[in-house]
Structure 1
């Protein structure tokens, strides 16, 4: 069997959501979706036509089997997913906001099968054979010291084997605080291996321990990118969105893609009214950017594609963004993108 071109490493979660706009357990019903930051990226890339597989550990029970089956249904390879017969699935509970009431997430993932896995459970030199790209996020190392070590070893092994690395900052302070993790040091180790990071100025402030006080948000991102490129010599790209929240269901979303060589591409902001579900929007954006880079789009086309993919996710319930390249291109409104040759 051929090795996948792209690997994503992270936790598969079950999302239990209150139906409609109800409060959690206002009625005795919950809607179930499979998700997880890295899995969301994997699903999007599979729908864009890429050969992608997931590396993870799930509970060896029907809940874990369902999560794995959902990935497989979306075209993601699952043969590298471990089953822990004594483990439990990580969960999170979602209450969707309305009017002036914000959405709320409650995590129940401590001690999950993935969070309890160790670096010894993943043979990265073998897993990475034939792989061209590894995608990671800051959620995994935030779960505990063992998973943090596994994530850093994955990134270092990829770099040693010539595999390109993408890293989504996804800074979750509450997760780091639960075990007193040194977020800055661990995230620095991961940024040091990345070819592209999905991060804004706030992530860079955590990683580098410096503040960006420019009045304009975009100017802060520009300054943060300059600092990141100076601190991490192998880093080639930094991408992020800028979100303006006008109401629970009404956002304005823009995006930037900045290159080490001075390339600066900014997608025109999109107005997102009547939002169905914003969970996974950042992962959809990341997958769109990766697709653009892997497909040879120029920087402007890449950031427009990424923003359109992220915007489409807001129209769909659940964590996954099961849309095709054609769906995104139709939203962008262009028949073709320029290809670097």
Structure 2
């Protein structure tokens, strides 16, 4: 792959940009009259991390033409993301409220994103041949499919345009039952339509079971993932890799995390990392996706790529906000010194 030089890869990401409001420290929402503001979104988090890691990362989305939309774009530009693919229109910004958990009180997310500018922007508003021009890769998530028929059609248009252009596609299932709501019955067919075009799938055995209508009943997480990967590779001839994280909760602040990846040749699993005193777990999966894509673009061997990705996910838990702000050297330093306490 000649384009995976140190110069990085040109990747386009498509999805909604959100404003996140969360109370300070471990307060309940509005316990005091304050919110901390962060900007994010599944694809935006991946876009920012890949830009920080040295890739040409282009965000395609739609924002309100007001101070919220412009500030959000500025945050992405600050991280080096190319925001030339963002459209502006009248309307509202998608918002979500995060009540971070503590000890045995779980975190809770409240979405306020119905009828946002992104949710109302039709597929035809995006000039995909121009937006994808010169790019080698497209990344998007199932959240586009969950938000409604308009964004689902836009995501499908992006995927078909990328396919026509001979690009590679990665897709993160990112299944959120609260977002699908009463459209949940449409999820398997819509997800299947995009997964069948993907080269790389971020999803676990539950995602594969949902899409294929089968269940993996093995007791061991690795065995379940292996069975799901076999089913996925049999169902989707284009698919080259499937990757996921598995999380074990001791309580909200203390968790264990490991990564899994299957290729058509083998299944790899990382060591399990202890995460004590989690600062912010939002965006951990996006950090993992960005880490794996970076490893793939840099031509790392499979195990090194997966280890890099889980390191990125683990380190994200130490950073407030949605985005993993760390550079490649930070991840490699942690890998080199093995400084996580590894569970044996």
Q: TM > 0.5 between the two?
A: yes
- Structure 2 residue aligned with 1:283, among 286, 307, 310? 286
Q: Which residue is equivalent to 2:47?
A: 42
Please give the alpha-carbon distance, in whole angstroms, between the structure 2 residues aligned to 1:239 and 1:334.
25
Whether 1:312 and 2:323 are equivalent positions in the alignment is no
Please give the alpha-carbon distance, in whole angstroms, between the structure 2 residues aligned to 1:179 and 1:255.
30
Residues 142 and 181, structure 1, Cα contact 8 Å, conserved in 2: no
- Structure 1 residue aligned with 2:31, among 26, 34, 44? 26
Secondary structure (helix, strand or coil) at the match of 1:268 reads coil
Q: Which residue is equivalent to 1:194?
A: 198
1:1-341 matches, within 5 Å, as: 5-84=10-89, 86-179=90-183, 182-260=186-264, 262-333=265-336
CA RMSD of aligned residues (A): 1.2
Residues 263 and 299, structure 1, Cα contact 8 Å, conserved in 2: no
Secondary structure (helix, strand or coil) at the match of 1:130 reads coil
Residues 63 and 89, structure 1, Cα contact 8 Å, conserved in 2: yes
Alpha-carbon offset, residue 100 of structure 1 = 1.1
TM superposition score normalised by structure 2 = 0.94
Q: Which consecutive unaligned segments of at least 5 residues does structure 2 have?
A: 1-8, 339-344
TM superposition score normalised by structure 1 = 0.95
Q: Which consecutive unaligned segments of at least 5 residues does structure 1 have?
A: 336-341
| Over 2 Å off, 4+ runs | 178-181
Secondary structure (helix, strand or coil) at the match of 1:247 reads coil
Secondary structure (helix, strand or coil) at the match of 1:79 reads strand
Alpha-carbon offset, residue 317 of structure 1 = 0.2
Residues 247 and 256, structure 2, Cα contact 8 Å, conserved in 1: yes
Alpha-carbon offset, residue 263 of structure 1 = 2.4
Please give the alpha-carbon distance, in whole angstroms, between the structure 2 residues aligned to 1:215 and 1:243.
15
Residues 177 and 184, structure 2, Cα contact 8 Å, conserved in 1: no
Please give the alpha-carbon distance, in whole angstroms, between the structure 1 residues aligned to 2:56 and 2:332.
20
Alpha-carbon offset, residue 99 of structure 1 = 1.4
Please give the alpha-carbon distance, in whole angstroms, between the structure 2 residues aligned to 1:327 and 1:268.
19
For residues 315 and 180 of structure 1, do their structure 2 counterparts lie closer, same or farther at Cα, with a shift above 3 Å needed? closer
The worse-fitting range, judged by mean Cα deviation, of 59-68 and 181-190 is 181-190
Secondary structure (helix, strand or coil) at the match of 1:311 reads helix
Number of residues of Structure 1 aligned to a counterpart in Structure 2: 330
Residues 226 and 267, structure 2, Cα contact 8 Å, conserved in 1: no
